[in-house]
Amino acid sequence: MRHATGRARRAGAALAAVLTWAGLLAGCSADGPGPLGMGGALGEPPAPEDVIRVTPDDGSRGVRPDQPLRVRVPGGRLEKVTVVKSQDARVSAVPGHVGADGLTWRPDEDRLALAAQYTVDVVALDSHGRRAARHTTFTTYVPDQRFIAYVSPENRATVGTGMIVSLSFSQEIADRAAVERAVRVSARPPVEIRPHWFGKGRLDFRPERYWKPGTEVTVDLDLRDVEGAPGIYGLQDKTVSFTVGRSQVSLVDAAKHTMQVRRDGHLLATVPITAGAPKHPTYNGKMVVMDMLEVTRMNSQTVGLGAEYDIPDVPHAMKLTDSGTFLHGNYWAPEAPGVANVSHGCVGLRDVKGGGADTPAGWFFDRSLVGDIVEVVHSKDKTVAPDNGLGGWNMGWNEWKSGSAVK
């Protein structure tokens, strides 16, 4: 609020200065001596609107964002142009510049903001050296529909090295290139990061290889007023940042019923697991931990398997795909891990009812982060789709880059 108030004071000071000029002009006749010193030789001074032309017109409403904002004089020169934008209770100056001929001012950013009021104050000299001042206002179009982006991971999170930045949009995006240009993902230390669209509602970003531990990633969303689809404009102007923690990659071998857990390249443990039974095999490929739940309910009807199971208290559940693949604790088949594959597609670790801290499932849960990689091999199913969860690591780099809308 302090910054907004400061801007409002500066805008008010600029307006007061302009109104002072207007008062001087109003108080001086063409024949009086006055500060202009023009006498009556030139006749009545022209009206300010004849000396200073402002587009859009004073008092305009519903001005479209692509309509140009211009200030010009037919002769003489512009002395001072002050433009202020008020939007969402925030007041800010609109930067711009006067052309080399001194006759035209234009903003540095051509596109107008939506749902905003613009105030334009101008002081200029006409071709006879007479000073004029003008004050105009206009308001811009208020869209009926907006879209927002839901960003994963969360702001200020610490994540595993396999994290993929994923944006899901509240509306389908028709102009994907415009939206893509309004999103910037950067890293420190720097690394090449490229986008990939999955349909019209999701935009993911990743580097060629897993992030290096300690990398700081920033996601800048400059989506406000971007037209994502006809008549549908973005609402957000925000930044999300996260930090990449240590590296942890776990290799699940469905044929051997084991999971090797490696931390920063070193083997921590080999844990017995149970994978999908022959009728419901587990996906092969690289999956990323998307969410971690101490306990959750798993109902087969939610994943299209009828009434095969309904377990209300599955412990240590880590989500791997949107289609319902989890790595979780298993207390109802305690003899299966390390021996047989009995699940409906999930990866199960030995656990106890309520979740035990000293069980294989509890041990792994306590050492995991959202963004960790779990790779499954030797299962009798296909490779997980790149858009099923954060499965983008199963796509080659060239194919990934081809998914950009900006060519």
**Bridge partner residues of 251 (DSSP):** 260, 375
Cα-based distances in Å from 41 to 28, 35, 44, 50, 128: 14, 15, 9, 19, 11
Residue 47 CB partners (closer than 8 Å, separation 6+): none
CA–CA separation, 397 vs 316, rounded Å?
33
Which sequence positions are flagged as catalytic? 328, 346
**Residue 258 CB contacts under 8 Å (≥ 6 apart), including other chains:** 252, 270, 271, 272, 273, 338
Residues written for the chain: 407
Short-list 185, 147, 184, 152, CA closest to 167: 152
Q: Please, how many CA atoms are within 13 Å of residue 406, restricted to the half-sphere of its CB?
A: 11
How many other CB atoms are there within 10 angstroms of residue 301's CB atom? 11
DSSP codes of every residue in 8-33: HHHHHHHHHHHHHHHHHHHT--SSS-
Residue pair 317/329 in contact (Cβ under 8 Å)? The answer is: yes
Amino acid residing at 368: S
For 330, list phi and psi in degrees, rounded to 5: -130, 110
Containing 124, the helix (H) or strand (E) segment is strand 117-125
